[in-house]
Amino acid sequence: MRLPSKEQIEALRKEYPAGTRIELLAMADEQAPPPGTLGTVIAVDDAGSLVTKWDNGSGLNVILDAGDRIKKQIMTEDVFNAIQSVRAGGRSNMLDLPAVQRLAYEAGYYGLVLYIADHPREYFHFILYGREP
């Protein structure tokens, strides 16, 4: 495997900044999390690997040049955490968009307010299935 150029590394860092949510589609490693596992990109290292914290606790990096396949999620880690916080408060049905937006606004989760406004389909899918479409 050849190391990527500085330009390729910078392009990866722009495409997958820290906090980017991803879903694993396939990974060529016997210790890989199962397909469908969600995770958060922590950084892109100097070898072009996506340093990832998987929601199941795994810390295995994504190596796109080695055939690992992922799907980038629209939801950021901040929005994900805001959803979890509003849900944990138990003050609203999570499918009642105006109520969730009001609670998010009151709590200062402005990113969640905008995410629901801009991506209602993805929000509903996440609430129902635990991941974006």
Instruction: Give the confidence band of 133 by pLDDT, cuts at 50, 70, 90.
Output: confident
pLDDT at 1: 61
Interhelix angle 120-129/110-118, rounded to 10 degrees, is: 100
Residue with tokens 């890989």: 32
pLDDT tens for 71-105 read 998 888 899 999 999 999 999 999 999 999 999 99
pLDDT tens for 121-131 read 999 999 999 88
Does domain 6-75 fall into CATH 2.60.40? no
CB 82 within 8 A of CB 104: yes
Q: Mean pLDDT over residues 31-40, rounded? A: 93
pLDDT tens for 2-16 read 788 999 999 999 999
Domain boundaries, given as residue ranges, for the chain: 6-75, 76-129
